[in-house]
Structure formats: structure tokens, C-alpha cells
Amino acid sequence: MWKAFFTTLFLIASVGGASAEKAAVLTPQDFARGISIPGTNPNHPFYRLNLPLEVLLETAWPDLRDIRVFNSQNESVPFWLLKPSAQPPRMQTVPMQMFLLPEQEQTGSPNRPKVVVRTGQGQVELALPLDQEGDDRPKVTTYLLEWRDEKPSERPGRLARMRFDWERSAENWRGQVTILGSNDLDDWYAVSSGTLTDLKAGNDSLRVDEISLASGYGGWRYWLVRFDRATAPQLKGVSAIYFEREEEVEKLQLDMPLKRISENAYEYALPHALPVSALRIVLPETNAIASAELATRAADNEAWRPLGSSTLYRLNTNGTEQTQPDIDAANHVLQAVRIVATGPGWGGKAPTVKALTEPRVLVFNARGNGPFLLAWGARAANAEAMSSPDQIPGLSGANAIERLPQAILGVPVKLGGPERLTGQSPAERSAGWKKMLLWVVLVAGAAALAWFAFRLIREVRAGEGE
């Protein structure tokens, strides 16, 4: 009897738990919001679209598990969530004005030789840095280079290298080059050095005419190029090669509204938690610098996690504004950021903060009839995105995703509304079922034991009476 009783309880718990763990088939009305995807062609089995920013801000899960694509029959179709391919770098070559400086200094003290040069800014006097021996007479051949642009803000992006052009000769040649930069023709800073080469052997030749600038200095207006005098070539021209666009995936920028805590402490929050790759913090005033402690958390009920100390600055140097690099957040899931100044601070105003997150490209299988529907925002959803783009037939090679036809987003579609963001997920429902069934088993077991004890007591008393 007792064996049959506990066996029945176990079967009820097993059947109930299994039914709770079955993932429900969701329909579009189980999601908070949607956008139509019209204009698909039956001749194209796959389409791609850049996931809109509003989708990232209105999902119920940070890992975007509650995203679906439906066809017109309300059937969920296979889809992939992928990172976009990095754009290749685009270089720009900018010619520079070049002046061969005289070997003898014209003015200045013996320890600070100067020469007079006529540039685009008129006749100017510049101080020459001394050579390594410290002699007041340079033992090098020096060229002055000047930008031709009028405003520093009009210059292209990060300087990558310099390209030199010189008169060809029948003799082999190899020379050491030192490059310095300045904005005032007075204070010079070493930027890079390297070797230029022009070698010939029969019908073969080797020409090295570029010097890389690993430090990436691009803000100087004036440059000095110095050759060992014994090996100096006769330069015809010099060009600067810049990154007009770096090789990287452009991050999505999310504004983080401010909640002030105290005079030197500020809190910023996103609508909900998201994976954040970096934080971009801008001080409220120019020519300011401050030290700060940063911390993050993924929910209001969680403890703050230290992100580390950082020096924040916003400086205006010769018309070019410089700020500290973006602060790495390691793609951690976070919802709020706290900034506490550890020194004098940055004045009465608050910094602005943007969260940078990786964009997503959604690729879907256009199975069935259109128009299709992009839906999101369902707490009850499980992850259904396909795991690898290798599962897409015929998709291979560099930038293969970009070769797929681009889907066009249409008009918003009214679905289940905001309450879908707070429903229970299958895992939460399963946990609730298991918890309830556990209590049923425990209460039933306790009742059975009490009844068994009661019967045992009655049988003992009956035996004593006999």
C-alpha cells in the first residue's frame, strides 16, 4: 500500500515536471513589439538586416533570446544573430610642403641654433633640436614639412606612416631617418625613426620608401625629417598616409540618463541590462582633468562591481579636442554605472556617459510567404537563434554576410504589449512547478507518516488492552 502511494506521488511529480519543462510554441502575440519586413523575393532564401537600436533597448533578456522572425502564417522561421564584418581600413595620402633647411644656423645661441624659413604662414624662425653629440652645428640633413590645410580639424584621421620620394641614382643607397613633430616650431618631440632603402642588383631592385609611425601622432602641424648627412638622399617630396577609416566594427552608442547621488558621485542607467563593450565618458568642460573610481552592476538589487580607477580628461590643444580613450567594459552585462570623483572633481556639471555595445546582424530564412515580422520582447521566450553561420548553405568567404540581400524594415506592428516583458520564462515556470510539486510530496509524505504513526499507536494500545 505504502509503496503504491509513494510510487503514485513520484509519477505525478515526474509528469508534472516534464510538462512544465516543455517550451511553449510562441506566437507573435506573445511578444511586446514588432516591425514588418515587406518586399521579400521568393528567389532569395536568406535575407539580412541590421538589428535596430530600439530592439536592443526593449528586449526582455540581455542575450537577445526573445527575438523571433515570423512569416505570414505566424510560423517562426530559422534565423541567426551575427556580428557584422569589420570594415577594411581606408587610407588617404596627403602631400606636404617641404623645405630643405640650411646646414648652418642663422640665428640663436650656440646651444639653440635657429634658421629662418618662409612657409605658408610667412617668414618664421624655428629652433633646431641638437644632434646626439650635442654639438651646436647639426651633423644631419634636415627637411621641414608643413601641412597645407588651414584648420587642424580638417585633417584626416590617425597618421599611419610617411612616404618619401627621392631622385633615383645608379648607386645603392640606404639611410637612417628620424622624424620629429611640433606645433610651434620651438618644442620638438621624437615621433619615429626608420631606414629607407634603394638597392639594385641586375634586373632586381628593392625600394623601401615608407616609415611607420606606430605611436599614431597626427596632430602636429610641423615635422622635421633628419637624415645622416653622409647618406642623405635628394628628396623630391613627402606624403603623409592617414587612416581615413580604421578597421573596426562601429559600436552602437546608447545614452545613459543621469541620476545624481552627491556632489562628486553620479549614477547612470540604461533601460535594462545589456552587454557593454566600452564606456565613453566626456567631462562637461574643456581643459579639465579628473580622477574617478568607476563601478557597474547588472540590476538594482545587485552589489556594485568595481571597474577600476580612471583619469578623465577633455583638453583643447591647438584647436583639436582630446579626450581619454573609451573605458573597456569587457562586454559584461550591465545596467548602471557609478562614477565617483576622487580628487577636486570637474565642477558643478555632470559628465555625459554613453554605453558602447556591439551591433548585431540578423539573417533569416525566408521560408513561407511574406510579409515577414520581426518580433521581440518576451520574458517567456527561450533562445532559438541558430548557432553558426556555417549552417547557411553556400555562405563562405570574406564579407559573405554582406553579400546577402538586405531586408527592408516596414511599419511597427502592435503585438502583446509591455506586459509580455514581465511574464515567466519556461525555466521559471519549470522551477515553480518543481517547487510546488516538491511541497506536495513533502506534505503528503508528512501526512502519510503521521497517519502511519497514528495507526501504529492504536495497534500498540489495542495490544496492551488485550
Q: Strand pairing partners for 197?
A: 174, 208
Sheet hosting strand 222-228, strand order edge to edge: 97-100, 140-146, 222-228, 173-182, 189-201, 204-208
Mean pLDDT lowest for which of 146-155, 252-261, 303-312, 359-368? 146-155
User: Dihedral (C-alpha) 152, 154, 156, 157: value to the nearest 10 degrees?
Assistant: 60
Residue 99 pLDDT: 87
Q: What is the arithmetic mean of pLDDT over 87-95?
A: 76
Residue 88 pLDDT: 65
Write the burial class of residue 13 (CB in 10 Å: 0-12 exposed, 13-18 middle, 19+ buried).
middle
Q: What is the arithmetic mean of pLDDT over 357-375?
A: 94
Would you state the cell numbers that stand for residue 140, as one nine-digit string? 644631419
Q: Per residue in 124-174, pLDDT tens?
A: 666 666 554 444 444 678 898 887 654 554 555 567 888 999 988 778 888
Residues 6+ apart with CB under 8 A from 157: 92, 218, 242, 243, 244, 245, 246
Q: What is the arithmetic mean of pLDDT over 97-110?
A: 66
Residue 4 pLDDT: 55
Please provide the average confidence, as pLDDT, over all residues in the chain: 80
Q: What is the arithmetic mean of pLDDT over 39-43?
A: 90
Would you state the cell numbers that stand for residue 204, as one nine-digit string? 632586381
Other beta carbons within 10 Å of 27: 15
Would you state the cell numbers that stand for residue 18, as one nine-digit string? 516534464
User: What percentage of the chain exceeds 90 in pLDDT?
Assistant: 36
Residue 414 pLDDT: 92
Q: What is the arithmetic mean of pLDDT over 289-293?
A: 92
Q: Per residue in 402-452, pLDDT tens?
A: 889 999 999 999 999 999 988 654 544 555 555 666 656 676 677 777 777
pLDDT of 14 strictly over 60: no
Residue 91 pLDDT: 78
Please say whether the beta carbons of 350 and 6 come within 8 A. no
Q: Per residue in 43-65, pLDDT tens?
A: 999 999 999 989 988 999 999 99
pLDDT of 19 strictly over 50: no
